[in-house]
Every structure is written in structure tokens, then in C-alpha cells.
Amino acid sequence: MAEQREAVDLLVKSNLPGRWSVKDSFRTLDLSRLGFELLFEARWIRNAMPLPGHPSDIVWQRETKGTGKGAAGLPFGDPDFAMFTGRRCFQAVAGGMLYRAEGVVGLSNVVADAADARAVWRSLALLAAQTFPRLPLVGYESGEELKAASDAGFEIGDKLRIWVRSKD
């Protein structure tokens, strides 16, 4: 924990511009005294064995280049990165990002309507297993997204916190 605290102190002293955050992966840091506010609490999720897909009319595609406003900074050329978009009748209705690192695949930025959530989570788990075979799938979620991940077969783990700080 001392090493984490030193890293956060170094970042605070570096005068980072704008708003930035710290993921407290083990829910052990109290960063409020350093000017951070608790942004949200979440739970780790894990899916070591994807369950069979849930029937859905969503068609999935791996994106190879960014087309939207925020896509310019995404690492599409990195073999450890994969972004998938789910479409229904040619309209984007779901998505998610995968990143392989340290013997796991991280799942983030899952987008799904409530009615499709279970199928989307299962589809993304299968896509992760196909794209990065034999690696466990991990991430973190809260609220309705956490429930959807659980309904799709993800194991719910320990709590974590995300702290945010804005430069004065």
C-alpha cells in the first residue's frame, strides 16, 4: 500500500491538468485528504468459462479503425486490443472493448440496452475467448451493469473504488 500511496503522491505533485482518477483496486486507500472525491464503488467481475450465447439477432464485428469522436486515441493497431460493435439492422446497438495484459483479458466500456444486456455480456465473453484463447476475462462494474454481468454468468468479486480529482 505504501508503494501505491507514493505513486499517487507523485501524480498529485505533477500538476496533471483537468480531471483525472485513480482506481483503488483493493479498496484500501482513502484519498479524500489529497483532494479526491469518491466517483463510484464497483465490484470486480470474472468469467473464466464463457457460457453458451444467449439467442440474439445482434451481429458482432471487430473494429479495425476509429470512426467516432473519441476513437482517435484508441490503439486499433495493438494486437492486445480489440473493440467489438454489435449491430441490429445495420445500426450499432451494443459494444465492448477487450485488452490482453498480465495473463488476463480486461473487458470495459460495455454498452447494451437492458433488454439485450445478458446476450451482450455472453457474446462479449465468447468473443474474448475466441480473440484471446485460454485467458480469464476480468473487469469491474456497478449497478445495473453488475447485475447484467452476473445474470450472464460472471462471478462477482471484491469491491473496489474509483477516486477522482480535478485541478483547482
Element at 120 (helix H, strand E):
helix 117-131
**Contact (CB, 8 A) for 50 and 125:** yes
- Note the CATH number of domain 45-160: 3.40.630.30
pLDDT at residue 58 in the model: 96
Query: What are the sequence ranges of the domains in the chain?
Result: 2-41+162-166, 45-160
Please tell me the distance from the alpha carbon of residue 81 to that of residue 46, in angstroms, as a whole number. Answer: 18
Helix 143-151 vs helix 117-131: angle between axes, to the nearest 10 degrees?
Answer: 70
pLDDT digits (tens, 9 = 90+) for 17-72: 889 999 999 899 999 999 999 999 999 999 967 666 667 899 999 999 877 666 66
Mean pLDDT is lowest, of 14-23, 85-94, 109-118, 128-137, for 14-23
Nearest to 129 by CA among 160, 90, 92, 84: 84
